[in-house]
Chains A and B, each alone.
Chain A
Amino acid sequence: MKQIDASDIPAPELSFVRSMADTGGKWVLHGEYSIWSGPQKPGKAAYFLHHWQDDGVLPIPRAASRPVMHRIPAGTPFEVAHLFGFWIVVDVDTVWIDAPGADGHNYALIVGGAQGKPGEATCLWICPKCAGRMAGASFAVPRQHFERFLEFAEGRVRLFNAQTLMRTCPRCGAVHPPSYGFDASLDGDQEREARQAP
């Protein structure tokens, strides 16, 4: 039988940190939560959280003189304008934090809290004329690999922008403008323009 050297056994991780002021803008997929955080400098379009409900879209006010902490219940579509142009629905709660600082606002999105989740995530759009849901597609999130959903959503954004039919609301016929994915570095001209639109 092979002898195990105790020094080969890695020490358990006690904790880890992620800065809300980190400009990297990537998701941390670690432990029981998927976490995104990042700042937005003064002069840039501020991130703005929208939260969908049956009779319309709820704009969540930005932090002014103090931070804001908002819970998005599991199953509720949400979008953060200028950060990603599609709407996300996950099967677990998400927490949004908007904290003003000396150099602008710092933000965090924290997805998780229940064992084995997010297990399913949906990418969709909301009609800006009637608030109906459109072009939804669900994705089974592999355990602890929320980034795969973001890649999936990126593909959906490309499709959405390429097909007017997909951007046409089945309820009222309005055409949704082009959208943008989560990773700004992947933006083409169309996505960049959409991301910067007021």
Chain B
Amino acid sequence: MLYSDVYVKEPLEKIAEDWDFLDKKIIRKFAGFRPVGDNIYGIRAVAHDTAEGFGEGRKGTTDLVKTRKNFEIGSHGVVEVARTPLMIHVTRAGTPHHTQHMFGYWHINDKDEIIIPLPPTDTAPAHLLIVMGHPVGNECDRVAWYCDRCTTLVFMREYVTGTAGFQGFWPFERAAIAEYNGDARHRTCPECGLVNPLGYSGFMQHDTPAERDARKAW
């Protein structure tokens, strides 16, 4: 190898402990979302065969379900988008997107969001990598709910992540969900009158029994 004469002599782990985000000792740091440098990273194991397995011991609180579906909303309404192994999927800034059983709302961010499903190997389950730009200035994250029947915007809360800091996103998320779930009027479509299902967090340990049922349903 051309550069072998000038390789750093120290073991890589000593120089950069987290040189591989998928290392079994490092990966747990990305169970939620973790800002590192210019991006925010999330890594999810696809550990559940079905949504019935939530809450099983030794499974992570953000683990995914193999049978999940992914959706985006555009000018033609709700569209299902594939998550094919080794396909880099870039959700453009401003696109409402939702993943079944993973988070019970539509996430709308001001940064592009890259999602890469990796297939299982002999030693690791399938994983989903999420990479999105670190918001700055007035750039926001939003959690929103659209009517299941007519796709009208029913309820939305906005967090100015760029100014308030990413560390406040999860408390914001939980507060928005509690507000939405706490009053049926928030969930009632102003256009067609449908009362929409409850929302739920990206972390399943926060689920109330009713929210756990919602997680299994949508």
Give me the interface of A with B, judged by CB distance under 8 Å. Answer: 11-21, 30-33, 35, 37, 48, 50, 53, 55-61, 65-71, 73-74, 81, 92-93, 95, 97, 99-101, 106, 108, 110, 112-115, 117, 126-131, 177, 197-198
Contacts and interface: CB of A to CB of B under 8 A. Distances in A.
Contacts of A113: 37-39, 111, 131-134
Interface string B109-142: 0011010101101111001010111101000000
Given A18-B90, A31-B93, A112-B38, A60 B19 contact: yes
A91 B36 CA distance: 15
B61 interface: no
Nearest to B135: A115
A37 B21 CA distance: 19
Interface of B: 1-9, 12, 15-16, 19-22, 36-39, 43, 72-76, 79, 81-82, 84, 86-95, 97, 111-112, 114, 116, 118-119, 121-124, 127, 129, 131-134, 136
Nearest to A106: B86
B75 A57 contact: no
Nearest to A194: B2
A48 B1 contact: yes
Contacts of A33: 90, 112, 114
A58 B8 contact: yes
Contact of A19 (B22, B87, B92, B123): B87
A175 B47 CA distance: 52
Contact of A93 (B38, B116, B122, B136): B38
Contact of A57 (B3, B20, B76, B94): B3
A110 B131 contact: yes
A68 B123 CA distance: 13
A68 B88 contact: no
B87 A177 contact: no
Contacts of B9: 56
B110 to A, nearest CB: 10
B191 to A, nearest CB: 20
B112 A14 contact: no
A16 B95 CA distance: 12
Nearest to A55: B8
A14 B1 contact: no
Contacts of B89: 15-17
Given A30-B90, A37-B88, 6 more contacts: A11-B76, A53-B8, A56-B8, A65-B124, A71-B39, A126-B6
A108 B6 contact: no
Contacts of B124: 65-67
The 8 A-B residue pairs with the shortest CB-CB distance, nearest first, are A113-B38, A131-B6, A113-B39, A56-B8, A93-B38, A66-B124, A20-B86, A32-B112
Given A18-B90, A19-B87, A30-B90, A114 B1 contact: no
